Amino acid sequence: MKGIKSNETPDLLMEALSKGEVVGYQGRGTGRPIYGVVFNGRKQRVAITVIVGANPKSLP
């Protein structure tokens, strides 16, 4: 992504999902949503398909 460092990617994704808006779709029909968001003072567009959740689990 233009102007985004790899270590900033998680923050961009979270910002897009929480505060951005769907501005289009990548692929046919309603494929991968493209989110528009202002990040670090610049307008960005990012297509997001899958977010994987994880949480700690206590040991037996």
Question: Given the structure tokens 């977010």, which residue do they identify?
Answer: 51
What CA–CA distance (Å, rounded) separates 38 from 16? 8
pLDDT tens digits, 4-51? 999 999 999 999 999 999 999 998 888 899 999 999 999 999 999 877
Show the tokens assigned to 36.
């528009």
Predicted pLDDT at 8: 96
The secondary structure of the chain as a DSSP string is -TT--GGGHHHHHHHHHHH-EEEEEESSSS-EEEEEEEETTEEEEEE-------------
Predicted pLDDT at 3: 83
pTM above 0.85, yes or no: no
Predicted pLDDT at 59: 92
pLDDT band with cut points at 50, 70 and 90 for residue 2: confident
First to last CA, the chain: 42
